[in-house]
Amino acid sequence: MGKKMGVAIVGSTGYGGVELMRLLEAHPYAEVTSVISSSSAGTSITDGYPHLAGIREELLDGVDAQAIKSKADVVFLATPAGVASKLAPEYLAAGLKVIDLSGDFRLKSPALYEQWYKKPAADEVYLEKAVFGLAEIYGENVKGADFISNPGCYPTATLLGLVPAIKAGFIDPASIIIDAKSGVSGAGRGASLGTHYSELNENLKAYKINQHQHVPEIEMVLSDVAGTPIVTTFTTHLVPMTRGIMSTMYATLKDNRSVGDFIELYKEFYEGRRFVRIRPEGQWPATKEVWGSNYCDIGFAVDTRTNRVTIVSVIDNLVKGAAGQAIQNLNLLMGWDETSGLQFVPAYP
């Protein structure tokens, strides 16, 4: 096999960054050639992550664009909101391909970003340029692109669960309610009051109701596929587990549709897409069934009394919700098989 393509990771000391390192270790065509930290350059990655001992022991590099370009062709940005908006233009100008895991380039309207993220938006030219990489829906746009905005974790689970039904007109778009739950690694590695052990353990909390920054991202895609503006009710919960997102969605049926109709529709829609698995009637997915993998599993129930469908969709927030989908986008962008380096069996139990 020829030389592997070099990739760099900015934000490598965070959960998304370290997950990219774990997954890329097994990639057949790409290898990590620079792990980057804005705060700890010159120290070893194993200082913060001893589990990498004997696997990756190199010193962390700094964020300088030319230095990255001398080592890599592609850079992943796994940094908090507000960072990629400044770094991505520099990296693109240096000739790097950029895959951003943050929310900085997902929304095309600067005003919408500022309303929901409460931070200054990126330059509109770059918002336009970034391709929204929800691989199973917009994968064709990713092919050959040089700047990808990776979707959020909640939107990935939610949209893969809703798009086929919206597109086929199975459900009333005005009736959608999304009830979503996440493990705590979704909040990143930094300590905070809401995520430390005694606050989280044996506890279940709703948060950011009607204010979550993923609301406009979900509505952007639903409106795009429906061809008409859609608004939704979206509630997020923090669950005392490390990984996993479950998005449970409720909507009113437009016609008499059975679970069998939904299964047939979704199987056809996702035909050939290895990472979406549709459950048989009477079986609903659990977060552990996708743990550590790039799968999104979806199950259905229809209630003929209320004329509503319930759609349950699960992912691992750090894999299909972040690093795994970012690598899937790298694969699409480079013209490699989209499953390259991602064929992990979920770690069960």
Ligand X SMILES: NC(=O)C1=CN([C@@H]2O[C@H](COP(=O)(O)OP(=O)(O)OC[C@H]3O[C@@H](n4cnc5c(N)ncnc54)[C@H](OP(=O)(O)O)[C@@H]3O)[C@@H](O)[C@H]2O)C=CC1
Q: List contacts with ligand X2W (CB under 6 A).
A: 81, 102-103, 152-153, 182, 184, 186-187, 213, 236, 238
For the bound state, the minimum distance from the C-beta of residue 103 to ligand X, rounded and expressed in Å, comes to 6
Among 133, 186, 324, 341, binds ligand X (CB under 6 A): 186
**Interface size with ligand X, residues (CB under 6 A):** 30
For the bound state, the minimum distance from the C-beta of residue 300 to ligand X, rounded and expressed in Å, comes to 25
Pick out residues in 85-114 that bind ligand X (CB under 6 A): 101-102
For the bound state, the minimum distance from the C-beta of residue 8 to ligand X2W, rounded and expressed in Å, comes to 19
Judged by beta carbon, residue 205 or residue 267, the one nearer ligand X is 205
Q: Confirm whether 296 is a catalytic residue.
A: no
Applying CB under 6 A, the span of 37-45, 66-74, 120-128, 161-169 interacting with ligand X comes to 37-45
Q: Extract long-range pairs of 91-98: CB within 8 Å, 24+ residues apart.
A: 91/65, 92/126, 92/129, 92/146, 92/147, 93/65, 94/65, 94/66, 94/68, 94/69, 95/69, 96/8, 96/65, 96/68, 96/69, 96/72, 97/73, 97/146, 97/147, 97/333, 98/74, 98/146, 98/147, 98/148
Could you tell me the two tokens for 275? 């990472």
Active-site pick, 96, 153, 160, 278: 153
Among 6, 17, 164, 324, binds ligand X (CB under 6 A): 17
CB atoms within 10 A of CB 169: 11
Judged by beta carbon, residue 295 or residue 300, the one nearer ligand X is 295
Q: How far apart are the C-alpha atoms of 26 and 28, rounded to whole Å?
A: 6
Q: Which helix (H) or strand (E) holds 148?
A: strand 147-149
DSSP state of 11: T
Among 6, 8, 11, 200, binds ligand X (CB under 6 A): 11
| CA distances for 195 relative to 62, 185, 199, 253, angstroms | 29, 9, 6, 38
Applying CB under 6 A, the span of 186-194, 226-234, 251-259, 300-308 interacting with ligand X comes to 186-194
| 62 counts as binding ligand X under rule CB under 6 A | no
Judged by beta carbon, residue 193 or residue 345, the one nearer ligand X2W is 193
Angle at 18 between CA 238 and CA 317, to 5 degrees: 30
Q: Enumerate helices (H) and strands (E) in the chain, giving the number of each.
A: 12, 13
| 153 counts as binding ligand X under rule CB under 6 A | yes
Applying CB under 6 A, the span of 88-96, 124-132, 180-188, 256-264 interacting with ligand X comes to 180-188
> Which residues have a catalytic role annotated?
153
